[in-house]
Amino acid sequence: MANIRDIARESGLSIGTISRYINSTGYVSEESAKKIQMVINEMNYTPNQHARALFNSKSKIIGLVFPSLINPYFSELATIFEHLLQEKGYVIILCNTEDSREKELQALELLKGFRVEGIILGRSQCKNELNKINIPMISYESTVENNNIITVSADNYKGGAQAFEHLYKKGCRKLLHIKGPTSFEATQLRYEGFIDAANKKGIKPEIINFDTDFDLQNKNYIDGVLDNYDMKKYDGIFVFNDIVAAQMLRYLNEKQIKVPKDIKLLGFDNSYICDLLSPRLSTIEQPIISIAERCIELLFEIIDGKEVYEKEHLITTRIIQRETT
């Protein structure tokens, strides 16, 4: 591939002149500019971003560290981030962690090597280790204690309470909650919000603990767990996210338990999967566009050296009623 030396040789001008022209860092005569641009076109030359990154410390890269892209909410969020950053002239380096602390730390080290200007960290499993990473960072869904890292998250605790209130209004009293892994701060808060709101009304929901998010390698995990319970005991179920709620709906359909007639079912996320199911899944919406925009806005405030005083940014959730409640 052509480099700046080739352009200098072909145009008969100095590397300094070419560099001034390409980076707009100083005077270049009109005649030289014309000549350089002609050679650039002829040689199909694209300026080297690595040289730029070294020269002005602006790598134009943001690191995106996500557990995986399998959960439709995460794949949609990643797509929106890519779109917003593209508009700002930034690219994304994508690293998946599969919720492993070790992989997350490896990813952060890697991104440091690429001198990314900022990092968006989804569902971090690290805490104090993040103090060492001296890169502007937004944590999505996990608060990082004793640290300056900004958290953006849906208000999962209130979202859990909204889930209870909706099911309660629909007449449900015998409640079941499918609870996400304890290490996921977001789903833990949904659980607490749900239980606290229920307890205030004197209701004690039953809980089924899930050790895992939706797992491609183990798509029928839910069946093995649920077969130990009698679903007919319940009239309302709140599941920690949409994709597991989709599995729950499939399970109930297979057991010929009618949704919403016999049991009302509620997910969390409002991912695109809700509208693909029948009946369509009612859910608590995490407003994905607002969340993505807030993450990017705050990240660039930090990148631009502004002080962000508020460390925790909670985005309000709301109920989206479809056909399962």
Phi-psi category of 157—alpha, beta or left, where left has phi over 0 and alpha has psi -120 to 50?
alpha
- Quick one: which of 94, 231, 257, 314 contacts a copy of itself (CB under 8 A)? 94
Q: Which of the 8 DSSP states describes residue 28?
A: -
Q: Is residue 109 part of the contact set for a copy of itself (CB under 8 A)?
A: yes
Q: Is residue 110 part of the contact set for a copy of itself (CB under 8 A)?
A: yes
How many other CB atoms are found less than 10 A from the CB of residue 299?
24
Q: Which is nearer to a copy of itself, 197 or 291 (CB)?
A: 291
Backbone angles phi, psi at 235, to 5 degrees: -120, 0
Q: Is residue 65 part of the contact set for a copy of itself (CB under 8 A)?
A: no
Q: Is residue 273 part of the contact set for a copy of itself (CB under 8 A)?
A: yes
Contacts of 221 (CB under 8 A, 6+ apart): 212, 215
Tell me the CA end-to-end span of the chain in Å, nearest whole number: 60
- Quick one: which of 33, 37, 70, 101 contacts a copy of itself (CB under 8 A)? 70
Q: Is residue 276 part of the contact set for a copy of itself (CB under 8 A)?
A: yes
- Quick one: which of 22, 72, 175, 184 contacts a copy of itself (CB under 8 A)? 72
- Quick one: which of 15, 38, 54, 207 contacts a copy of itself (CB under 8 A)? 54
DSSP string over 118-164: EEEEES---SGGGGG--S-EEEES---TTS--EEEEE-HHHHHHHHH
How far is the C-alpha of 14 from the C-alpha of 262, rounded, in Å? 79
Per-residue string for binding with a copy of itself, 165-194, x by CB under 8 A? ------------------------------
Q: Is residue 47 part of the contact set for a copy of itself (CB under 8 A)?
A: yes
Pairing mode, strands 236-239 and 206-209 = unpaired
Q: Is residue 161 part of the contact set for a copy of itself (CB under 8 A)?
A: no
Q: Which residues bind a copy of itself (CB under 8 A)?
A: 1, 44, 46-51, 53-54, 59, 61, 64, 68-70, 72, 75-76, 78-79, 82-83, 86, 91-96, 109-110, 112-115, 132, 134-135, 214, 216, 219-220, 243, 246-247, 249-250, 253-254, 272-273, 275-278, 280
